């Protein structure tokens, strides 16, 4: 844009004249070394910034994720309980709060029932797996003819499976027992949950039986301990008395569950064979109290005849 | 005329401001181009005021380091040349505050401060010698100017800045700048003519 004022035009003419003479002298420039130094500094200023961005973005994302996760965990662990502010709200809140308690109570109740039923209907195999039983079984491992004297270890196997699957010795032992007894045992032994044979009432783990069973449990424990002691007397010759005493004590200490009816019958039969009729009768009475519906053989009915 | 020459050179080139913005965003090549455009003018602006080449290089480097370090804060609020020479002005002022004033350049000296004026060509040796003599006289007269007038002349000549832009950089009014420039040009022309008359 050309100057319009006369003084500006004069100034522009002067400047043009001086500039024309100044140009040839205006050749001074920085050295190449200085240029390189400055350009290098400029590049270095840019490079670190790129590096910063390269690690800053993923680092910031990672930090946000860590914070979010930790915050989420903290919030989840510290959810405040619902505040009760009004009556209308309190009813709903109480109902909501009561919900989780109901299943818990129901679960407790059902677990208690299950444990009681299990105790009543526990397969005799489990009990035979207890140390004292195993000890007795091992000490009484006798030939075929004597296996009848200790049928406790054979009875559970008989109760839990068909005869064909049992070992030959046990199958023989059960074969030697009366046919009616074997049929009854097969029908009842699998436990209270097993369906009973027609016309034969199964020992149901009902609440009535449970109430009665509490009193009977103590009696059974005493009977079981007596039975173990009797067996101990037999085993004294084998030098295993000390072990059995310890085992019997352990059994007494435990809350001994009542033996299964088959087991009980075997014990009574053993007592009868040993000539201990009074003890056998006591055992039979105790068994009748525990299992009133359990069918008895003719021999046992005869033993119990005086009572009826 | 320098302004016209720069205008021809940069007619289809990327504006300085655009280059500086690109450099701000991490484009080092943009700075290379920007530096190439202004390195001579800024250096001469500094050299004519501080006198010593070594000192001029120090100040020159400081100017560009400030440009580099301020890149992230750069905003296009004026021409880049205004921004650049504003920083150059501040650096020179800082130098003068730290040091004793001006070391005048002796044209008879063969030291590093001696200014070499290139000749236009071998075919005109007499004219080349005359131009060199005139340029040397001009530089001598420029060195004898009062600092304010010399700075106004250099900003106008090397930076191709307008009177308003110079007024903004130096913190004076436009008329003051115009007056200083008029005095500077008159003295420079007088110095050339006086040397010519003496010769």
Mean pLDDT of A287-296: 86
DSSP string, A253-278: HS-PPPPPHHHHHHHHHHHHHTT-HH
pLDDT value of residue A56: 81
Residue A140 has pLDDT above 70, yes or no: no
In whole angstroms, what is the distance from residue A217 CA to residue A243 CA?
Answer: 25
pLDDT value of residue A239: 64
- Nearest C-alpha in B relative to A27: B117
Looking at residue B171, the DSSP 8-state letter turns out to be: T
For an interface test with B, give the residue of A2, A23, A39, A42 to mutate (most B CBs within 10 A). A42
pLDDT value of residue A37: 92
Q: What are phi and psi of A184, to 5 degrees?
A: -65, -40
A39 vs B32: CB contact, 8 Å cut-off?
A: yes
Long-range contacts (CB closer than 8 Å, 24 or more residues apart) made by A32-40: A34/B57, A34/B60, A34/B61, A35/B35, A35/B39, A37/B61, A38/B35, A38/B61, A38/B64, A38/B65, A38/B68, A39/B31, A39/B32, A39/B35
pLDDT value of residue B198: 53
B117 vs A17: CB contact, 8 Å cut-off?
A: no
In whole angstroms, what is the distance from residue A48 CA to residue A53 CA?
Answer: 9
Residue A7 has pLDDT above 80, yes or no: no
Give A33's contacts in chain B (Cβ within 8 Å). Answer: none
Give B116's contacts in chain A (Cβ within 8 Å). Answer: 27
Instruction: Compare CB distances from B188 to A18, A26, A38 and report the shortest one's residue.
Output: A18
For an interface test with B, give the residue of A1, A3, A6, A30 to mutate (most B CBs within 10 A). A30
Between residues A29 and A116, the one the model is more confident about: A29
In whole angstroms, what is the distance from residue A151 CA to residue B140 CA?
Answer: 135
Q: Which of A133, A72, A129, A163 is nearest to A266 (CA)?
A: A133
Give A18's contacts in chain B (Cβ within 8 Å). Answer: 138, 153, 185, 188-189, 192
For the segment B128-184, what is each residue's pLDDT rounded down to a tens digit? Answer: 777 777 778 888 888 889 999 999 999 998 898 999 999 999 999 999 999 999 999
Question: What percentage of chain A carries pLDDT values higher than 90?
Answer: 7
Model confidence at A296, in pLDDT bands (50, 70, 90)?
confident
Cα distances (angstroms) measured from residue A305 to each of A105, A285, A297:
47, 11, 12
Residue A259 has pLDDT above 60, yes or no: yes
Q: Is A17 on the interface with B (CB under 8 A)?
A: yes
pLDDT value of residue A133: 46
Q: What sections of chain B are H helices per DSSP?
A: 2-9, 16-24, 28-50, 53-69, 80-98, 125-143, 147-157, 163-170, 174-198
B135 vs A49: CB contact, 8 Å cut-off?
A: no
pTM: predicted TM-score of the whole model, two decimal places: 0.45
pLDDT value of residue A84: 53
Answer yes or no: are the C-beta atoms of B151 and B89 closer than 8 Å.
yes
Longest dimension (CA), chain B: 56
Q: Which of A201, A153, A185, A162 is nearest to A265 (CA)?
A: A185
pLDDT value of residue B73: 86
Q: What sections of A148-206 are H helices per DSSP?
A: 154-160, 168-176, 179-188
Give B118's contacts in chain A (Cβ within 8 Å). Answer: 24, 27
Q: What sections of A23-86 are H helices per DSSP?
A: 32-77
pLDDT value of residue A225: 77
Between residues A237 and B176, the one the model is more confident about: B176
For tokens 């005849």, the residue is A305
Mean pLDDT of A42-58: 75
CB pairs under 8 A between A and B: 106
Mean pLDDT of A43-48: 80
B117 vs A14: CB contact, 8 Å cut-off?
A: no
For the segment A75-114, what is each residue's pLDDT rounded down to a tens digit? Answer: 888 776 665 554 544 455 555 554 444 544 555 555 566 5
Residue B34 has which token pair?
Answer: 């920007």
Residue A167 has pLDDT above 50, yes or no: no
pLDDT value of residue A13: 86
| Least confident residue range of A12-26, A211-225, B22-36 | A211-225
Q: Is the ipTM of this complex over 0.85?
A: no
- Nearest C-alpha in B relative to A44: B28
Q: Which of A8, A26, A4 is nearest to B1 (CA)?
A: A26
Q: Which residues of chain B have pLDDT under 70?
A: 1-12, 100-125, 194-199
Burial class (CB in 10 A: 0-12, 13-18, 19+), A165: exposed
Q: Which of B150, B123, B147, B127 is nearest to B139 (CA)?
A: B150
Between residues B4 and A46, the one the model is more confident about: A46
Between residues A262 and A144, the one the model is more confident about: A262
Residue A195 has pLDDT above 80, yes or no: no
Between residues B37 and A223, the one the model is more confident about: B37
Q: What value does the mean pLDDT of chain A take?
A: 65
pLDDT value of residue A220: 76
């Amino acid at each position: 844009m050309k100057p319009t004022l006369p003084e500006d035009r004069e100034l522009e003419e002067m400047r043009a004249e001086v500039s024309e003479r100044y140009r040839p002298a205006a050749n001074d420039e920085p050295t190449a070394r200085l240029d390189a130094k400055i350009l290098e500094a400029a590049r270095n200023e840019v490079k670190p910034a790129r590096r910063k961005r390269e690690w800053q973005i993923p680092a910031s994302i990672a930090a946000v994720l860590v914070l979010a996760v930790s915050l989420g965990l903290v919030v989840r662990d510290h959810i405040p309980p619902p505040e009760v502010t009004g009556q209308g709200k309190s009813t709903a809140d109480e109902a909501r709060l009561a919900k989780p308690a109901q299943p818990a109570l129901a679960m407790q109740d059902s677990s208690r029932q299950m444990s009681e039923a299990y105790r009543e209907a526990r397969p005799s195999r489990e009990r035979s797996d207890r140390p004292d039983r195993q000890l007795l079984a091992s000490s009484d491992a006798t030939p075929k003819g004597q296996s009848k004297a200790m049928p406790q270890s054979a009875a559970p196997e008989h109760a839990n499976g068909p005869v064909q699957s049992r070992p030959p010795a046990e199958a023989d032992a059960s074969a030697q027992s009366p046919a009616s007894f074997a049929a009854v045992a097969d029908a009842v032994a699998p436990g209270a949950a097993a369906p009973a044979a027609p016309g034969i009432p199964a020992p149901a783990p009902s609440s009535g039986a449970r109430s009665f069973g509490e009193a009977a449990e103590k009696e059974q424990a005493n009977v079981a301990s007596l039975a173990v002691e009797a067996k101990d007397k037999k085993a004294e010759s084998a030098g295993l008395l000390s072990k059995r005493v310890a085992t019997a004590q352990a059994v007494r200490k435990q809350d001994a569950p009542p033996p299964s009816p088959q087991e009980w019958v075997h014990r009574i039969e053993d007592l009868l064979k040993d000539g201990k009729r009074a003890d056998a009768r006591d055992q039979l009475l105790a068994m009748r109290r525990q299992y009133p519906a359990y069918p008895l053989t003719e021999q046992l009915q005869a033993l119990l005849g005086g009572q009826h | 005329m320098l302004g016209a020459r720069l205008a021809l050179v940069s007619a289809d080139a990327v504006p300085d401001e655009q280059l500086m913005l690109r450099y701000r965003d991490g484009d080092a090549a943009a700075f290379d181009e920007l530096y190439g455009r202004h390195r001579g003018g800024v250096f001469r602006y500094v050299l004519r005021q501080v006198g010593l080449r070594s000192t001029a290089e120090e100040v020159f480097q400081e100017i560009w380091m400030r440009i580099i370090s301020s890149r992230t804060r750069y905003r296009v609020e004026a021409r880049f040349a205004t921004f650049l020479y504003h920083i150059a002005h501040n650096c020179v002022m800082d130098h003068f505050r730290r040091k004793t004033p001006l070391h005048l350049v002796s044209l008879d000296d063969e030291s590093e401060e001696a200014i070499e004026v290139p000749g236009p060509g071998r075919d005109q040796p007499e004219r080349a010698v005359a131009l060199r003599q005139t340029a040397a006289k001009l530089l001598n007269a420029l060195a004898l100017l009062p600092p304010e007038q010399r700075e106004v002349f250099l900003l106008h000549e090397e930076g191709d800045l307008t009177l308003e832009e110079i007024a903004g950089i130096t913190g004076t009014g436009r008329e003051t700048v115009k007056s200083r420039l008029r005095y500077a040009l008159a003295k420079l022309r007088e110095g050339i003519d006086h040397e010519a008359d003496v010769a």
